[in-house]
Structure 1
């Protein structure tokens, strides 16, 4: 409780320094704050909120305990005019029933358990309880971790569950909830690979695609399991990515050489018809509007239109695009044994090895098995652009953009030591995958990237500028941040 009061006091002090007296009255003058003070205030509010989450979840679990059915009409919720403790909490705090239920669930999982003897036993999830009480994670992250661990608890031994609980808490730091959800999804596949096949069968039965008209628009509503959805997503993203790159090539045609930015420009990306290089009319969309005015969602809709038009009008081939492929990754040991898991680039949900084998029999799918030695992965100064084999290896090491986790197909290869300025080689330990946004963030805001080790097992670190962290403490990037990384496998 003292820690909570300290956080509240620090937050109130920050708010007090931000309060301004004006002729119109007192106000929170956030628009007058310096950048560092605004960021510090946001972090202070976040820390206080996480502390409040810990206290609120504990209170919610106690309300639920005093409202149990055996108490009948004397239960706390019913005495206060509510049917259940969840509805009481939702109504009195102004939240949703779902959020109130999560508060109760987290509170019950992290509160000391009352034994028949009247003594307290440790919480069911003691590591989440400690992290929540310390303000390291909040209620949403705690709920996501607890829900997954409880789901597989009957099929995984206790020491493994404890190790997973500690690992996920450590990885949750600095991740948004949707990013953590991807890590948890991969953790569940790692911990319970036998549960993948039944789940895949359920998802296959749930796949659907329907068309309907609303307000004069043709609407498409669909959902696909990872195996059937991956080729669809890959094809559409390939068209959109090639379009963005062609537009960038056209804009930079009269400017500085691409060598100066240290990035593989993506000039080897195929157009829709399989040819390389920019298309002169690509500056306009298929419906005649200016590409620069289209959103990503509109570009994806246009990509689907282009694929359909190409397939309907193509006499020479049954492939609407040439070049983009679905990458399915697995270890050689898993491939040989038929057990374990595989992953699809750009899809968070892992798949079973048997599903990966089925995908490998399809066209446009590359089953990447670690351990092959058929390609040269280091070229030194002989080539400026990274080869396809190198890009696949970097995608295996980085998992996508090392900054934000965007799928490999949406990234470019960045020379850490630039090709022209620093005479940097086109080698794996001098390259990282970066999306366009993170590439600019690295260059414009003073971030540095360091690669430790060699090959796909190397570790990528981000070093923040001094104005963000005076100690410039390295932060993990790539796979180590966005994939499940148990301590014994690090």
Structure 2
């Protein structure tokens, strides 16, 4: 594949134009522009580096033995050679190789096959997004890994096309959530097998450090981690709420709180006559009624990034500590007008179904509270779904402080779509920005 450096030169010129500038003296707009230019330069360099890394890997094939490029340079693998050159990790080097192979193979698929197969069409579009700087090398590697071994069908293509359309501008952990969901929906049986392998790899252990502290190391399946996360999040959130009322009531960090919760739980297990913290925790699993009955397809657990197979969710829903949110059945009254100040549990479950967590940053539902869009007191706002939105504390305060507007449009599959309109100080055109599950989710 031909190496082109035009994008690197263009991005470098934009950065070098500010050579000698005092970063501390830049205006807000200048600082943001410089940050954008530097990120563009990094992506452009990564594209070139990925191409070179893929060629280094090709010349270091295990079949070449000691004659391979990496072996001749004294390295056990191409990953180690590339990591030494970049100063990064072997895992990062592998992602560069994967992206470089994508760029090379997509160029061939797009030119030779007419028309390309469904998944080849996604790879061609993915490679274009990487070359144009819309997507990072790490994001491309996440897509490539997720698509490996999936059925090469129009359905799979459509799922990953959805993910690709939403990926630009997202952080890598949010991109992974998109591709995991697309992967699970494209091959539910294969996803269930993945869960079985994860279950076989679960582990936990304690290790004494040199300074006398003890480090706990655990690897849990997403479903097994759900109750642990629920207990941690509920207790930390409760402690933070107490701190808002009395700032001196608890000076611990969230990390210290989680450590104390774990120790208290284990102490309680030694003597179950001792009372618990009293903070109620639940795990909410979500699937359609048809999936629950058939045991096919995938659903989700609030606060867990990866989708979970319907068969695993059926087992979880049988647990007394788990609330199954069965979608599509008879529902409770979800609009209370002015008759109720706080959103009910049923309304909160419905808001989580619509927003997926924080409607702005996609933080887990356990970090969020249901807020009135039109304030209860100031605007006489109703306690209805159309006037409710899930926001974490940080986003709630920032949106109100900076003057953002929130609107729920239409009814939609999950009760409407959340839009955020920025103030003119952020965007003079005040172009609305999509939020909630529609921004971060993938539909089958």
Q: Could you say whether these structures have the same fold, taking a TM-score greater than 0.5 normalized by the shorter chain as the test?
A: yes
Distance 1:4 1:316 in 2: 64
| 1:5 aligns to 2:9 (yes or no) | yes
Distance 1:315 1:94 in 2: 54
Q: CA deviation at 1:84?
A: 5.2
TM-score by length of 2: 0.87
Distance 1:185 1:50 in 2: 23
Distance 2:84 2:164 in 1: 31
Give the corresponding residue for 2:90. Answer: 97
From 164, 189, 199, give the equivalent of 2:159.
Answer: 164
Describe the shift of the 1:206–1:80 C-alpha distance in structure 2 as closer, same or farther (beyond 3 A).
closer
From 175, 180, 188, give the equivalent of 2:183.
Answer: 188
Q: CA deviation at 1:212?
A: 4.7
Unaligned runs of 5+ in 1: 21-28, 252-282, 285-290
| 1:298 aligns to 2:296 (yes or no) | no
Q: CA deviation at 1:352?
A: 1.7
Give the corresponding residue for 1:52. Answer: 45
Alignment of 1:85-484 (within 5 A): 85-112=78-105, 125-150=123-148, 152-153=149-150, 156-214=151-209, 215-250=211-246, 284=249, 291-292=250-251, 294-309=252-267, 315=273, 321=278, 323-454=280-411, 456-483=414-441
Q: CA deviation at 1:394?
A: 0.4
Describe the shift of the 1:219–1:71 C-alpha distance in structure 2 as closer, same or farther (beyond 3 A).
closer
- Residue 419 of structure 1: SS of its match in structure 2? coil
Q: Which has the larger radius of gyration?
A: 1
Distance 1:240 1:360 in 2: 25
Describe the shift of the 1:78–1:244 C-alpha distance in structure 2 as closer, same or farther (beyond 3 A).
closer
Describe the shift of the 1:48–1:166 C-alpha distance in structure 2 as closer, same or farther (beyond 3 A).
farther
Structure with greater contact order relative to length (CA < 8 Å, sep ≥ 6): 1
Q: CA deviation at 1:428?
A: 0.2
Q: Which stretch of structure 1 is more off in the superposition, 38-47 or 210-219? A: 210-219
Q: Which stretch of structure 1 is more off in the superposition, 214-223 or 232-241? A: 214-223
Give the corresponding residue for 1:262. Answer: none
Describe the shift of the 1:140–1:316 C-alpha distance in structure 2 as closer, same or farther (beyond 3 A).
closer
Q: CA deviation at 1:385?
A: 0.7
- Residue 179 of structure 1: SS of its match in structure 2? helix
Describe the shift of the 1:245–1:86 C-alpha distance in structure 2 as closer, same or farther (beyond 3 A).
closer
- Residue 349 of structure 1: SS of its match in structure 2? coil
Any conservation in 2 of the 1:414–1:434 contact (CA below 8 Å)? yes
Distance 1:312 1:75 in 2: 58
Superposed CA deviations along residues 227-280 of structure 1, whole A, max 9, x for unmatched, are: 3321222122212211212232446xxxxxxxxxxxxxxxxxxxxxxxxxxxxx
What RMSD, in angstroms, separates the aligned Cα atoms of the two structures? 2.9
